[in-house]
Amino acid sequence: MRIEPQIDGVVARSAHPYGCEAAIKQQIEYVKRAPQITQGPKRVLILGASSGFGLAARIALTFGGAKADTIGVSFERGPSEKGTGSAGWYNNIFFKAQAQKEGRTAINIVGDAFAQETREQVIEAIETYFDGEVDLIIYSLATGMRPIPGKPGEFWRSVIKPYGQPITGASLDLQHDRWIETTLEPASDEEAEHTIKVMGGEDWQSWVDALINTESIAEGCKTIAFSYIGPEVTHPIYLDGTLGRAKIDLHQTSHALNLEMANFNGSAYATVCKALVTKASVFIPALSPYLLALYKVMKAEQCHETCIEQMQRLFSTKLYGQAKVDVDGERLIRIDELELAPHIQQKVNALLSEMNGDNFKQLGDYEGYKDEFLKLNGFGFESVDYTQEIDLADLKKLRP
């Protein structure tokens, strides 16, 4: 069969395995030539390792100077009669292949990170491959629901909504290349609480506590989780909405975990990243026009960064190789400072004030936005022959 992009609104229904391989190789090539990570961790656990910031962190730490061994946890699906499987499935496979070529240990655990059996698998893997201890724990789970402990079949479900009053903004239909005006009703108290349960810091804390209880924390171990704050123009849907409240909970959790990690001369940080096209961000109404404007401006100013560039800079200039970790007044690691620079935001706001459904492709970087989305799923790489016929049986032989 020939694998082509299949998009349903903002959901990719297909992934190209060899495009995913090309994406992995491209990111590896970048971190090898970038400023290197020094004094980095050697044994890293990444929860949510198959895409986005989690995958980029794994690549940076393995190939960008630290020469780390990694255990990656992700919930992905392989090929079947129903389809080609998810991009993350192939990212796991081809990352591992490249890591092993360079003599690095790369263990993939495909399973639900919220499940007790997955935790047991992780702890066993740490004991088997890492002499029982990890030097860095990265929490990068992005999901819309979380099982309620002790209540089989019941879930907390997150929502992307404002507080207090409705807001109207635009979202992008990538399937039909359309701008769609959307009005979001305010969240109920229950929806807000559920979103904090799913996207806040409770599960991060639970994972770290489990690793402490099993004596899996090495001396000097650090843990980080990823967050976003954004400029004032995005606050109604993000910082002041359900997502922002959940991220504030995540920030507070980092302070609590920092006290726990101090017992091991370690530390915990929430890391604030820039706005990027990810599998999660395309679902956030009203954020898409901002991304179109931001990409246009930052590329023109030659300061645009993708996930891999953000992660390489995080580990080489903020978290490792420095006399102390670079944080702001709220103990947050900020790698969003280029996005939030006043001259960048001034130009972004000027573009947004003119952008609408008729001109968004001309004024914003819609081409770059969609190209980045397609590349998340293995499409749009010049080195890949997309006319190639691929045998599903061959895909099924590839294992993470």
Confirm if 348 and 290 have CB atoms less than 8 A apart: yes
- Residues of the binding site for NAD(+): 48-53, 75-76, 112-113, 141-142, 247, 276-278
DSSP 60-103: HHHHSSS--EEEEEE-----BTTBS--HHHHHHHHHHHHHHHTT
Catalytic residue among 18, 30, 139, 238: 238
The Cα-based distances of 142 to 17, 54, 100, 319 in angstroms read: 22, 10, 27, 22
Active site residue 163: no
- Residues of the binding site: 48-53, 75-76, 112-113, 141-142, 228, 247, 276-278
Hey, which residues does 146 pair with through a beta bridge? 156
Q: Which of 105, 7, 10 is nearest to 58 (CA)?
A: 105
- Looking from the CA of 257 toward its CB, the CA atoms found within 13 Å total 33
Alpha-carbon distance 302 to 164, whole Å?
38
| Distance of alpha carbon 373 from the chain centroid | 13
Q: Which of 255, 280, 152, 244 is nearest to 204 (CA)?
A: 255
Which helix (H) or strand (E) element contains residue 297? helix 287-300
Q: Which of 137, 121, 118 is nearest to 43 (CA)?
A: 137
Confirm if 123 and 216 have CB atoms less than 8 A apart: yes
Neighbours of 296 (CB within 10 A): 21
- Residues of the binding site for substrate: 228
Which residues are catalytically annotated? 238
